[in-house]
A and B are shown apart, each in its own frame.
Chain A
């Protein structure tokens, strides 16, 4: 079993809709949670970085962490075609290497 599970999609939504992405993880030692966006043939770009359970908002992006259920989410409001990309969740313990989900391909259709 992978340490971080993520549905690879693809997830197709119409422009303006809310994109909802999620991951589950198995190791309770994981304390830091990240969401990356990766366009084709590019390196991942850090979107959100959270530590504690709860919500973190940055513009159209909201990250949620529920440590009790080991569940992390990313919501994208008012989605745009430019949001079409692969979204990767990642987590780590205090000092360790990142554990990535498989990545979810998102397609926002005009």
Chain B
């Protein structure tokens, strides 16, 4: 299957700082990528849809000014958690697909964010 990478895999930061997470499609181009958040023992919660060359589409309840998404190229999307607070601590996962009807999605390995 297609490969999606994320960096970093784990990050610890102080409250009030910003953290950038990268999501890359390694062997295909993705005009659309998705960002999810997952709390322990819960399913994935879609945060936003990242569209190459245009603004991201955020799900209801997700603060667009807090979670900045930039889809700079067909293989890279970034999620920046701005002014992070302890309640932002979570597992963040991206997904991408090679496109076409059906929207088959492959997930990255995830980034564990801990805000102290």
Contacts and interface: CB of A to CB of B under 8 A. Distances in A.
User: On chain A, which size bracket covers the interface?
Assistant: 20 to 34
A107 B1 CA distance: 26
Interface string A60-103: 00000000000000000000000000001010101111101111
Interface residues of B, number: 23
Contact of B112 (A41, A96, A102): A41
A103 B43 contact: yes
B115 interface: no
B93 interface: yes
A34 interface: yes
Contacts of A98: 34, 46, 95, 103, 105
Counting chain A CB atoms within 10 Å of each CB, which of B1, B101, B102, B106 scores highest?
B102
Interface of B: 1, 4, 6, 34, 42-44, 46, 49, 91, 93, 95, 101-110, 112
Interface of A: 31-32, 34, 36, 41-46, 49, 51, 88, 90, 92, 94-98, 100-103
9 contacts: A34-B105, A43-B4, A43-B108, A43-B110, A44-B107, A46-B104, A49-B102, A94-B102, A100-B44
